Structure 1
């Protein structure tokens, strides 16, 4: 998918200045010909978001939603907003396509995938708020410290089952001190998911909420000694699942 996005980005280069100019001409003339030019100028922007958020088989539907977003931007944009048209249109196009994705994507996504997708969205939105151009897949990956193919694979989640995702693609670009690499986080989360409910709750209380064994025992309704024995079995199982 990431190669497909990169290839089409070369073929359809985003040209925000050209889009801004064609919109300004249309605002002055109101002619159908100038409106058609706006739609042509916005094609690359629409296809960028469609490729990012929707898989191949759904991209054309996503593109149609993107054009609806562009038309909405054209009708609602006001220069008094203090932002360029391309920035405003990006929000509208992205919003329509993401709405389509939420409605059509059929598979559940694990929490860590949802968080990564949110980070992708936030990276794009923060760039737009600063008045910068829409970031490329490479720039998003660099910002999140995740390899490009991992970002592309994450955006497929929801459209396909977790079993169909290639989890080996989720890797950090660079090592960061005191931070667990994303590939190790995935491995750990998969191992925790294999524990029984009581063991999962114990892990959450002790390591995510930083509780003492005494406090965890109160919540679980068992003794501190039982917590200690349960923790020993839990860690043993985790090591077995990870290895």
Structure 2
């Protein structure tokens, strides 16, 4: 990514006051000089009209004076395997935003105010633009080679190269090339709801499994089956006729040749036995 020369001046060489020298006496002296210069420039900037050449000149000088702060913040992300120049450019955007929002009248030192903005901008860059899944360093390095070989072979043959062609070009096994290609996909997260390109299929979310609401009743049905066998045979039959065959109590009484009241009593007794044997918690 690139920041315009106007908004992000050339990064000065290390040793011009960079925070990395802050542990030495000369580094602390340069840091104090940079803070003093920053205060003077902000005092001058507050009296200028935004957008005028003089305002832009002072604003650029503020950016230049505080670039060591950006380098210091960027150094915290060296382990991310990203080009440090890109990280510094992103941090410079955060610095510019901090300069535009800073109010010297609040009594806060500018580095204290700017650091969270600079670091936040860098973290946002890694969150939005860098791979979403960590891959081993070796695969990352091979992926860069595979990506370069793919571009070269595409230009050479006028088509996308096969895995075998890439493997031959780099002297790798096809399995290694496939692993690198898979690792490269970790740089971009795919939405579950996005339609699949090329094949016309619905999004991944539409092809995922779903929770069957009937699953909640499986355990209960198994428990009821276990309890039913503990009832007398006639009570089992009455329950089956009532709740599986959906017969009314009158129809059951005619089926069994007993009174409806007796059927009702047998049902109530069966329910009492089932409840006492094992209480089934209601579904939430």
**Shorter-normalised TM-score: what interval?**
0.3 to 0.5
More helix by share: 1
The two structures have a TM-score, normalised by structure 2, of: 0.32
Structure possessing the higher relative contact order (Cα contacts under 8 Å, 6 or more residues apart): 1
Larger Rg: 2
The two structures have a TM-score, normalised by structure 1, of: 0.37
